[in-house]
Structure formats: structure tokens, C-alpha cells
Chains A and B, each alone.
Chain A
């Protein structure tokens, strides 16, 4: 069973024109690539307003039961709504995780308020998916700091440092067992998956498409065509994220 650990719902995107515009199109693409379920967070919530964004996504995914696993987005510095919204999404709506995008949302990943909200995910027993890339706000070092301070939190390192920091992410995951590496839009360097599996084991790696913003093929092919065994592929393609969310 193929489960996408990192996708989105919505059309809010500042940098590029959005090509895939509807949730129906996302479902069509998922079907084409045999992706049964996708963990999703709201682009509107990430880019602008988390309260309306989460609500919009709730409505969008309601037409496709069983296809999406919703992650809540909050801005940690917008309080008290942030903590209340996280609790509502998880406790009342049954959502399965938290998504933070410190770069688009505009705060350092390991700032005090982010730490407080991540502490709350640990209490609620849900993972947090955090964007990481080649910038100061989401530098892998900051994610490492979070993992160090909160060993009870399960931290999925989105994009595993993106282009420049793919290897740093692996080194950090070697150090902190509560870090899960997410290969979504990681650097296309040949041997990335193999290197990560060798360093931290296949059970701590998940994959995702970043739909609707990215082509699904490159991210899927990165796993399916890698030199790892079939069991390891199954773990990365779905079993791990199911275990993390259980």
C-alpha cells in the first residue's frame, strides 16, 4: 500500500503558478500513481490563515473519505488560537499530525513558541512534519535542536534539508532517534535513499509527493528505483508512516 506522507490541499502558493487546481485532480493523480492515501495539510493555512485553511481543507477532503490523512497547520506565535486549534483538530476532528512551515510562516523552527506547540504534539501523541531546507529559519540544525530538546516528540524532517543539506539531515537523524527523514523534494543526488537507509535504517524514512505543487514521479521513482530491498521499499512507501500515525 502506497501512502504519501507529504502532500497538500489547496491553491495558495506565493512563488509559482499552481497547475493542479482541484482536489479532484489530486485524486486522479494519486490513482494514476497508485497512491492510496495521502497525508495532507492546507496550503492556505501554511501561507496565510491557518484557521480558515484548516476549515477549507476539512471541507475539501470530506468528499473523498479514506483517501486523505489530515495534518493540522498552526502558526505557533498566534496564540492562544494555535494550541486550541491543534487540540480541536486532533481531539475533535481526529486529525493525525501537525504541519509547520517556519520558512513561509516566518519564524525560526526552534523558537520558543514552536517548541511549545511541538511539546503539545508530544502530549497529544501525534507527529509533527516540519519543512527543512537551505535557509536560516528551517536549517536542519534547528530541527536537531528541537529533537534534542523534545525526545518525546516525533519529528518528520520534511525534504530532509532539501538541496544543500541532504547529508546533514542524515547525520542529524543518526544522532536523534525521534527524527524521521522525509525524502519529499530532497536533493536528487544519486544514492540519497541508499545512503539514508544505510545510516539510519529504512524504518525511519518516509516519502511524499508534495502534490499538488510538485510532479509525483520524481519523488516516487527515487524510492522505487533505489538499490534497497523490497521490504525496505514497502516500509518507506507506506508502512513507516502508518506506524508513526498509529
Chain B
């Protein structure tokens, strides 16, 4: 039996490139209820596609309506370093948000560039996890190559780094890098359905290092969820992947 489902990777706010059936925060909650998702880590799509301060502000307003359902992550663009630091101060320090979201692909910076390292330095001091988009070099992963993110993981071993999409099609490489860097966690969201992916990740790294994510409302929540549900891992492992791990990461950090 599944105790608690926490989605480690969702976004609020539509982008015009996708249909977005769940257009509002209320729509999102309806879909989460339908598929038994208790809580979701969420960051602003508006921030990733356009304007971070305005995106974070809109997310702040939206999640106020559902304080027990959403765990907001602050999205920043390291290329606007002063603004980014300011956003972290405002939302992590002052408003108690639980994590940071970085998207090198959408913000067009190499994951290991100077600005990226500068913002990781800040995140490291804040003691919160960071969710970083990752991909395959030929599929949404030019700037967010796994080895570049692994470099960050090596520099900041105390900061939990959630590898968004676990490299998409490059998931085998993601598992390999996570073996070397114990602060890397793999997020199952994205579009690779390879039979054995979740099983192998759990076998190689332990269930503690894999988190369920959906990338909802861009992507399809039940589709992404069924990948973990179908996987041939124990109920205990499934509970960790579906919510236990992300709860642990966020609570532990809160206790510090």
C-alpha cells in the first residue's frame, strides 16, 4: 500500500507551446485528487519561460490557496545573478520555500558556468535541495548535460541535487553518475518509459535515491505516475520513490 504520494516535479502557469488542460492551480488540484497525489513540489513555468520575480510572485499567490498541497520551489536565472540572489533571500529565507529550481536549457547557460556555480554557492548556504533540469545532449540536454551537473554535485556534496528527468533518454548515464555522487537524486519525470529503468535505478542506488516526478501540468500526471506504479520494485521501495524520499530531503533540511 502506498502511504503518501508527493510529486517532486510540477509547474504552475501555462506556456503556449503545450495544450495545458490544467490551466489553474484549482485544475491542478482536481487532477492530483483524481490520481491520489497528496502533495507536489512546484515551480513557476512563467519564471522559467519569461520572468523569474513575476513567476515566483504568481506562484506565491497561487499556492497560498492550498498550503497543504504544494511545496514551492524558487525558480531563478543565474545569468541575472543579483536578481537571483534576491529571489532566494525573499522566498527561501523569508517565506520558507523548500527548494530551488534551475533550468539551464530554458535559460540558455551551461550547467557548470560561472553564474551557475555562483548560484549553487548560495543554494549550498541555504541548505535546501535544488531541482535541475537534465537531458540527453541531443534531446533537451545540451546545456543541462549530466556530466556538467555532476560537476556541480562534486563541488557541493552537501546540497541534494535532484536530476530532473534523470537525463531523459540518457538515464543509464544518470544512474552511473549518481553512483559517484551521493548527493544526486534521480527524478523519474520526463518521457523515457524504458522497462527496467526504475528497477535498475533502485537496484544500483537504493530506493532512497529515486524520486517520482511528473512534470505536470506540462506533462500527463497519470502517464508519468504509471511508470513507477508498473515498476517491479518492492512496496517499501515504491513508498520511498513515491513520496518518502522527497519528504525526507525537505524535512531533514528544515531541521537544520
Contacts and interface: CB of A to CB of B under 8 A. Distances in A.
Interface in B18-49: 18-22
Nearest to A219: B193
Given A16-B171, A191-B20, 6 more contacts: A17-B172, A19-B199, A215-B226, A215-B230, A221-B222, A227-B21
B231 A190 contact: no
Interface in A10-42: 15-20
A5 interface: no
A216 B20 CA distance: 24
Contacts of B215: 188
Interface of B: 18-22, 138-140, 168-169, 171-172, 190-191, 193-197, 199-200, 215-224, 226-227, 229-231
Give the size range of A's interface with the partner. Answer: 35 or more
Contacts, number: 104
A189 B19 contact: yes
Interface of A: 15-20, 134-135, 162-164, 185, 187-192, 194-195, 210-222, 225, 227
Contacts of B230: 215-218
17 contacts: A15-B169, A18-B196, A135-B138, A164-B139, A164-B140, A185-B191, A188-B220, A189-B19, A189-B218, A191-B19, A191-B20, A192-B220, A214-B195, A215-B193, A215-B194, A215-B231, A217-B230
A195 B139 contact: no
B219 A213 contact: no
B195 A20 contact: yes
Contacts of A214: 193-195
A188 B223 contact: yes
B22 A217 contact: no
